Amino acid sequence: MKSLRKIIIGSILLTATISLLLVVVNILFTANWAMKNPSVTHSKYDIGAIADGLTNIDGAYYLNETAAAQFDAQYSWAMLISQDGNVVWSKNLPADVPLTYTLTDIATFTRWYLNDYPVSVWESEDGLMVLGEPKGSIWKYPITSTEATISQIPSYLGGFLILNFVAALILALLLGSWLYLKLKPIYEGITALQKKETIILPTKGVTGEVARILNETSVVLKEQGKRLADRDKTRTEWIAGVSHDIRTPLSMVMGYSSQLETNPNLLPAEQDQAKIIREQSQRIKTLVADLNIASKLEYEMQPLHLSKVSPAAMVRSIAADYINNNDLSDSYSIFLEATEDSNGLSLLCDEALIHRAITNLIDNSIQHNGNGCIINVSIKKYQDGCIIKISDDGKGYPPEVLGNSDEPVFLENHGLGLIIVRRIMKLHGGKVTFENPSSGGGSASLIFNP
């Protein structure tokens, strides 16, 4: 749920930022636009220049060239109203503009319109200069406001901005929590999917389609998982069947070759051959048993019989068994070292499997150092668990094993022994690491960390 919350918070912040940015951009754009279009603000200050360009020469009015050019560019008509209210000069005067004006007329059109014509006025020597523009071209109303209102404009603008900000944030929050509520079941569905659980999400609302697809995916995954498990089970059962069936013929081979080996009527060379048959059939026995257990571990068909075990007592007993059973020829010796605190340790594990892992490693040391070696088994406390180390002074582990990857590597001549050890450790939540110490030999560590 953490990552969904992160996504939602991110989206809320992003939405708020975008909204704020929009407000700022709008303000900037408006200000820029207003500044670049001064004519709209009806401040045609050159009206004074035009008025000044009109000169009275002996009773006749004459507009000079510069003023005439300016007039043509900006206005459509002009007139000069004398002090007594009569039009004394005009240019392009439309027919519907009267030629005499009262004080009321003048007061009215200076503020608003003259017969719907927007006009600008200028006080000149001989009267009032009126410049007109076509009807409907200019918006012209005087705005009146109290001083108080004007003085409040900056704070109003500030408040407006803050209000915008708050509104943007609230909207973003609402949108975010709405999204959160909608996406939560989808998120939970995906999480469940990862754990291979069957999911039934409600398929209504905006996320309905996604939910439906997820539901279907979970069914497909379930079926696929089942098919895979069935196949694994079949394979494991098949291997178990073969390894069972091979036992009877192997019993015969082992039994009779063993009898021949000690038959006094045979020549020593023949006895040796019988011995080889017996030894090789024992190897087949080990291989088949390894194959069987490896396939069970691989496909998780090996039932775990967990119990509390003292690992220190177990390694002591394993080491003692090697010596007591005379399993080791004289060229091999085995030593054990247990730290004092390791005696108090207790491990929840499948004793038979851990026993197997340890003997596999010891057997490995024996098998791969045919000229004999010294095997050291040690146990020590490590964090909440322990490390059982099996090391020898032989030729060491091959480089492929030293990678310590979780993936098992199949090595020729190593059989399945090390793969089984890896699987057993994985099943117990631990791991096995291999190294060749600089002092020589090889060393494998079983690390239990509950």
Q: List contacts with other proteins (CB under 8 A).
A: 240, 243-244, 247-248, 250-256, 258-259, 278, 281-282, 285, 289, 292-293, 303, 305, 310, 312-313, 316-317, 319-320, 323-324, 335-338, 340, 343-344, 352
Question: What's the closest the beta carbon of residue 329 comes to other proteins, in angstroms?
Answer: 17
Distance CA 301, CA 232 (A): 9
Cβ pair 332, 368 in contact under 8 A = no
Q: Helix (H, G, I), strand (E, B), or coil: what is residue 129?
A: strand
Nearer to other proteins (CB atom), residue 137 or residue 280: 280
Contacts 24+ apart (CB under 8 A), 204-211: 206/182, 207/182, 207/183, 210/186, 211/185, 211/186
Question: What's the closest the beta carbon of residue 184 comes to other proteins, in angstroms?
Answer: 46
Cβ pair 27, 18 in contact under 8 A = no
Nearer to other proteins (CB atom), residue 8 or residue 358: 358
The single-letter code of the amino acid at 77 is W
Distance CA 225, CA 223 (A): 5
Of 259, 261, 254, residue with least CA distance to 275? 261
Question: What's the closest the beta carbon of residue 240 comes to other proteins, in angstroms?
Answer: 8
Question: What's the closest the beta carbon of residue 247 comes to other proteins, in angstroms?
Answer: 4
Contacts 24+ apart (CB under 8 A), 281-284: 281/250, 281/253, 281/254, 281/257, 282/254, 284/246, 284/250
Of 369, 380, 292, 302, residue with least CA distance to 334? 369
Angle at 433 between CA 430 and CA 434, to 5 degrees: 155
Question: What's the closest the beta carbon of residue 244 comes to other proteins, in angstroms?
Answer: 6
Question: What's the closest the beta carbon of residue 310 comes to other proteins, in angstroms?
Answer: 6
Nearer to other proteins (CB atom), residue 215 or residue 376: 376
Question: What's the closest the beta carbon of residue 344 comes to other proteins, in angstroms?
Answer: 4
Q: Quick count: other Cβ atoms within 10 Å of Cβ 243?
A: 19
Cβ pair 415, 292 in contact under 8 A = no
Nearer to other proteins (CB atom), residue 2 or residue 308: 308
Nearer to other proteins (CB atom), residue 318 or residue 401: 318
Nearer to other proteins (CB atom), residue 218 or residue 295: 295
Nearer to other proteins (CB atom), residue 78 or residue 254: 254
Question: What's the closest the beta carbon of residue 185 comes to other proteins, in angstroms?
Answer: 44
* Residues pairing with 87 in the sheet: 81
DSSP, res 92 = S
Nearer to other proteins (CB atom), residue 230 or residue 337: 337
* Residue 53 CA, distance from chain mean position: 75
Cβ pair 379, 315 in contact under 8 A = yes
Nearer to other proteins (CB atom), residue 46 or residue 300: 300
Nearer to other proteins (CB atom), residue 319 or residue 446: 319
Nearer to other proteins (CB atom), residue 155 or residue 324: 324
Question: What's the closest the beta carbon of residue 276 comes to other proteins, in angstroms?
Answer: 15
365: burial class by Cβ within 10 Å (0-12, 13-18, 19+)? Answer: buried
Question: What's the closest the beta carbon of residue 320 comes to other proteins, in angstroms?
Answer: 4
Q: Which residues of 128-164 are buried (b: 16+ CB within 10 A; e: fewer)?
A: bbbbbbeeeebeeeeeeeeeeeeeeeeeeeeeeeeeb
Question: What's the closest the beta carbon of residue 335 comes to other proteins, in angstroms?
Answer: 6
Residue 402 token pair? 């030293």
Cβ pair 67, 53 in contact under 8 A = yes
Cβ pair 349, 305 in contact under 8 A = no
